[in-house]
Amino acid sequence: MEPQEIRPIVLGVLSQFYVPVTAHDLALLAEVATGLGISEGTVANLARQDSEDFSGGIERDFWVCPALDYPSGSANYDYSTRSDWPARSRLVADGLSEAQELATLRNMCDVAAIAEERGDASPALRRLIERIDELAIIIPGPRIAEMRSRRTVRTSGVILYREIAEDLYGPLVRAARIEQREVADAIDRLPASQKYFGR
């Protein structure tokens, strides 16, 4: 597939997440959502291509952008984001924060649950569930056991992880946003080229 065909798919997946996402995870999520195999390398190059297109004067409503390192505001192409997100949703500090990992887990669980509801049994969905299990290590084991013990009906791991991630996410993201507010506000005031693609 050509970048112009992949860009709307990637932007669509990112719109569900609102946190920086790696090319590996984006390619997997796009495959689960669309059934189309998209290479990780192609996804990884989209933000760089959009940066070149922006510099070349091409106009688009939305751009695939790199995450922005905290506190420098420099581009971090290990993660993709969207140009219409505020800087506070695009910042990464030495990788994803605990709050961002919980948001990623929660959102991946949503994608998996929707795929399961529509009867998807694809290898891509199996890989996504394996990825969810990897991310779920952030959830304390006793918390999982406690949630399972309170259930009267057996609940899938995907639903359980999603609920716990949602519970844990709120206080952490509020603290991170307070800590990063000054930097995020300064980035939001930069010219579009620096705000979208880093200083």
Q: Is the pLDDT of residue 2 over 90?
A: no
Give the per-residue pLDDT at 133: 95
| Backbone conformation region of residue 83, classed left if phi is above 0, alpha if psi is from -120 to 50, else beta | alpha
Q: How confident is the model at residue 148, as a pLDDT?
A: 84
Q: What is the mean pLDDT of the chain?
A: 93
Please state, in angstroms and rounded to a whole number, the distance separating the CA atoms of residues 82 and 18.
Answer: 8
Specify the pLDDT at position 115.
94
pLDDT at residue 100 in the model: 95
- In b/e form, how buried is each residue of 37-75, taking b as 16+ CB within 10 angstroms? ebeeebbbbbbebbbeebeeeeeeebbbbbbbbbeebeb
pLDDT of 159-199, one tens digit each? 999 999 999 998 898 898 999 999 999 999 999 999 999 98
What angle in degrees, to the nearest 10, is found between the helix axes of 98-117 and 157-188?
130
- Distance, in Å, from the CA atom of 43 to the CA atom of 27, rounded to the nearest integer, reads 6
Name the 3-class secondary structure at 118.
coil
The model's pLDDT over 38-69, given as tens digits with 9 standing for 90+, comes to: 999 999 999 999 999 999 999 999 999 999 99
